[in-house]
A and B are shown apart, each in its own frame.
Chain A
Amino acid sequence: MCLAVPGKIEAIMDDGADELRRAKVDFGGVKKEVSLAFTPEARLGDYVLVHVGFALSVVDEQEAQKIFESLKEMAELEDAEAS
């Protein structure tokens, strides 16, 4: 039930009160309208994590890269050990 899926904001509707902000979000081709009530900082093009129709957080792209950077270092270390 705590499933949340990342999708990209394609359009933002009703830029009025925070609790009414909604967006059209693209989930790999499937498009859905999502509430931005809890993510007033979300902007066009951002990826948001969506749970039961509400964006719960804006995905932090820099943080998302970190694991792949450490995996790369790990790979170099493994290669060095192997040679």
Chain B
Amino acid sequence: MKFLDEYRDRAAVERLSRAIRRAVTRPWTIMEICGGQTHTILKSGLEDLLPREITLVHGPGCPVCVTPVELIDKAVAIAARPEAMMCSFGDMLRVPGSQSSLFDAKARGGDVRIVYSPMDAVKLARMNPERQVVFFAVGFETTAPANAMAVWQAAREGLANFSVLVAHVLVPPAIEAILSAENCRVQAFLAPGHVCAVVGFKDYEPLAARYRVPIVVTGFEPVDLLEGVWMAAQQLEAGRAEVENQYSRAVAREGNRPAQKIVAEVFEVGPRQWRGIGEIPSSGLRLRGPYRQFDAAERFEMAAPGARESADCISGLVLQGLKKPYECRVFGTGCTPERPLGAPMVSSEGACAAYYLYGRHKAR
């Protein structure tokens, strides 16, 4: 496929690997934010093409992984109600809540549907006026415009039986939280290309300047990732700390204006809990005033039993790049994709799932 195959070309990847080796003289730690990028790195074995001096650590860019356990419990509770039809992206279903997942709720007879787009959930609400259709609106900036459009469309049609359970998170505040932690060892970032396709990369410029870190907006294929590492390494070696755009075929500095407009119409910025990390100020989206009637958390009043996490899971440390998945005591034994204890073992963007699937069970 055009714009995919050529970015997976072996000769191109090897040439970039040699360029990185030539550029690097000292050890550097670079974090890729997005879990999709983590999976490409592991799947294609890109770490083996890097010089020893470069360490890649994996960031919190897996929305499924950082969705608070309380919200998963809420989604499970809603799914158990007879009038509810709970719609979600597929990779949310197996994520463990305190006691069970949406998948378990479905097995118990709950009406849980996997949808490809939030607009499919709007369509289900239109077709089933007697049911309460709830969409689990999880995601980063990339998914926010589609989810905003679903709410906007429901409002326009007056679909009183549609609502969303919002768990939207934002990348720049997460980068700032990582950088301001005392034990931070990240020296450069690969910023998530598709997030930046929506919001642009102006918001990253003050971060690069304030914390003196290079930030390279990067795509998702092997050639993209190695070029991103190469650009970051050149900046690090030269003592520069700028925002550069590797993914210029898809990302403009100002981002996508129509997408930003619908997000600003429907959502506003607020504090948000990140699973395994804690609350980060101004790091999430919530429904704005006139759209709050579509908030499932308010529509379905429910008791909030205390949320519980597995005592063995170290996903918080993995998500902050402080530990590698194989450093976890239960990785691949007590915790596997079939029986996950933490969300990063479930999601197609989770670092633990990537390490498990592609056989990275120990340090390289």
Q: Spell out A's residues near B (CB within 8 Å).
A: 1-6, 8, 18-19, 27-28, 35, 37-40, 47, 49, 51-54, 56-57, 59-61, 63-64, 66-68, 71, 74-75, 78
Contacts and interface: CB of A to CB of B under 8 A. Distances in A.
A57 B251 contact: yes
Contacts of A19: 149
A78 B12 CA distance: 13
A63 B143 CA distance: 24
Residue among A39, A51, A66, A75 having the largest count of chain B Cβ atoms under 10 Å: A51
Contacts, number: 121
B84 interface: no
Given A2-B36, A59-B3, A66-B248, A52 B194 contact: no
Interface of B: 1-4, 6, 12, 15-16, 18-19, 34-36, 61-64, 89, 91, 116-120, 138-140, 142-143, 145-146, 149, 192, 194-195, 197-198, 220, 223, 227, 248-252, 256, 258-259, 262, 347, 349
A14 to B, nearest CB: 15
Contacts of A63: 248-249
Contacts of B143: 1-2, 51-52
Contact of B1 (A28, A53, A64, A75): A28
A66 B304 CA distance: 53
11 contacts: A2-B63, A2-B143, A51-B142, A51-B146, A52-B118, A54-B146, A56-B194, A56-B197, A57-B197, A57-B256, A78-B15
A6 B109 CA distance: 37
B149 A60 contact: no
A64 B117 contact: no
Given A2-B34, A2-B195, A8-B2, 10 more contacts: A1-B143, A1-B349, A6-B4, A39-B258, A47-B2, A53-B116, A53-B119, A54-B117, A56-B145, A75-B15
Contacts of A1: 35-36, 62-64, 89, 91, 138-140, 142-143, 347, 349
Contacts of A6: 1-4
B18 A78 contact: yes
A60 B250 CA distance: 6
B234 to A, nearest CB: 12
Contacts of B118: 52
Given A4-B142, A54-B149, A71-B12, A38 B259 contact: yes
Contacts of A35: 119, 149
Nearest to B245: A63
Contacts of B195: 2
Nearest to A19: B149
Given A53-B117, A56-B198, A59-B3, A38 B15 contact: no
